[in-house]
């Protein structure tokens, strides 16, 4: 696949890269990078990360790291990026890209009034909001030179702007995370920020909603999407993301859905 997304020597970081959309983003984005570019893949499943790494082009420097973003400290995250750079300096890269894909759907069996466990709230927001926000700040600090073109891609959801019954954790988390990146975009007008909503995609998350969601109506909607072949593959939505980034017919910080016209 050819693309005008990025040029020159690129540093690409993808979170949640061991499966689903994150894995496909790692594969397709890496295939567009020029020689001597560098890729850093983060997720909890190290074996999956190694498997993906072995499939990527040999003209790239690829590093993988098993990390739980809900528990990692700012120092640990900074060390991971610095160690992946090795002897390279940040200003050796023409462009840097961070894809905040990591995420979980949370407990989908409960209604909002049943969500009364502080520990579950904290755990959910640590992974889905606080972790990405802290990592983003560290990434910008390490690649702060003005000469570096910067891209920040947040994988969001329709659930971030539209409420769905039984998805209290997921909807509120996506909304908070997306708003963080909107504020970031306002503060950093020279950074290309995209909140990309991938649409309904055949992933473990989609399967979890079908199996466990408490609201019967929503369960039926998701079942019908699959029955009517309305569920996308990770390949379809990632190629659409490439198209969105290549055309860039959006304002930095915008929410762009898979089905939006470019």
**pLDDT tier for residue 40 given thresholds of 50, 70 and 90:** very high
pLDDT at 3: 55
Q: What share of the chain has pLDDT > 90, as a percent?
A: 98
Task: Evaluate whether 65 touches 42 at the Cβ level (below 8 Å).
Answer: yes
Residue 4 lies in a domain: no
Task: For the chain, give the DSSP string.
Answer: ---SS--SSEEEEEESTTSHHHHHHHHHHHHTPPTT-EEEEEES-HHHHHHHHHHS-TTSEEEEEE--TTT--HHHHHHHHHHHHTT--GGG-SEEEEEE--------S--GGG---HHHHHHHHIIIIIHHHHHHHHHHHHT--TTSEEEEEEE--GGGTS--TT-HHHHHHHHHHHHHHHHHHHH-TTEEEEEEE--SB-SHHHHHHHHH-S-HHHHHHHHHHHHTT-PBPHHHHHHHHHHHHHH--S-TT-EEETTS--
pLDDT at 95: 98
Rounded to the nearest integer, the mean pLDDT of the chain is 96
Residue 234 lies in a domain: yes
Tokens representing residue 43 in the block: 């997720």
Residue 239 lies in a domain: yes
Residue 235 lies in a domain: yes
**pLDDT tier for residue 1 given thresholds of 50, 70 and 90:** very low
What CATH number did the domain enclosing 104 receive? 3.40.50.720
Residue 254 lies in a domain: no
Residue 200 lies in a domain: yes
Separation of alpha carbons 155 and 178, rounded Å: 9
In total, how many domains does the chain have? Answer: 1
State the residue range of the domain holding 226: 10-249
User: How far does the chain reach from its first CA to its final CA, in angstroms?
Assistant: 19
pLDDT tens column, 164-222: 999 999 999 999 999 999 999 999 999 999 999 999 999 999 999 999 999 999 999 99
Angle between helices 216-227 and 204-212 (to 10 degrees): 130
Distance set, CA 27 to CA 30, 54, 58, 252 (Å): 5, 11, 13, 24
Residue 22 lies in a domain: yes
Residue 2 lies in a domain: no
pLDDT tens column, 126-158: 999 999 999 999 999 999 999 999 999 999 999
């Amino acid at each position: 696949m050819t693309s005008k997304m990025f040029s020159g020597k690129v540093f690409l970081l993808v979170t949640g890269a061991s499966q689903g959309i994150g894995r496909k983003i790692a594969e397709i984005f890496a295939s567009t990078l020029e020689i001597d570019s560098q890729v850093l893949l983060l997720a909890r499943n190290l074996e999956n990360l190694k498997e993906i790494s072995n499939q990527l082009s040999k003209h790239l420097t690829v590093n993988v790291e098993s990390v739980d973003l809900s528990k990692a400290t700012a120092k640990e995250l900074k060390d991971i990026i610095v160690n992946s750079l090795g002897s390279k300096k940040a200003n050796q890269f023409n462009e840097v890209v961070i894809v905040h894909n990591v995420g979980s759907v949370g407990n989908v069996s409960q209604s909002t009034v049943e969500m009364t466990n502080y520990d579950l709230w904290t755990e959910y927001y640590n992974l889905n909001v606080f972790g990405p926000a802290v990592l983003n700040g560290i990434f910008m600090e390490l690649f702060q030179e003005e000469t570096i073109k910067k891209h920040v891609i947040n994988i969001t959801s329709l659930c971030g702007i539209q409420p769905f019954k039984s998805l209290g954790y997921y909807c509120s988390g996506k909304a908070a995370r997306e708003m963080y990146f909107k504020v970031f975009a306002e503060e950093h007008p020279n950074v290309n920020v995209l909140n990309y909503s991938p649409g309904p995609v055949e992933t473990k998350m989609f399967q979890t909603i079908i199996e466990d969601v408490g609201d019967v109506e929503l369960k039926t909607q998701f079942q019908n999407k699959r029955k009517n072949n309305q569920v996308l593959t990770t390949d379809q939505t990632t190629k659409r993301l490439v198209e969105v980034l290549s055309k860039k017919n959006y304002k930095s910080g915008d929410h762009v859905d898979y089905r939006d016209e470019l």
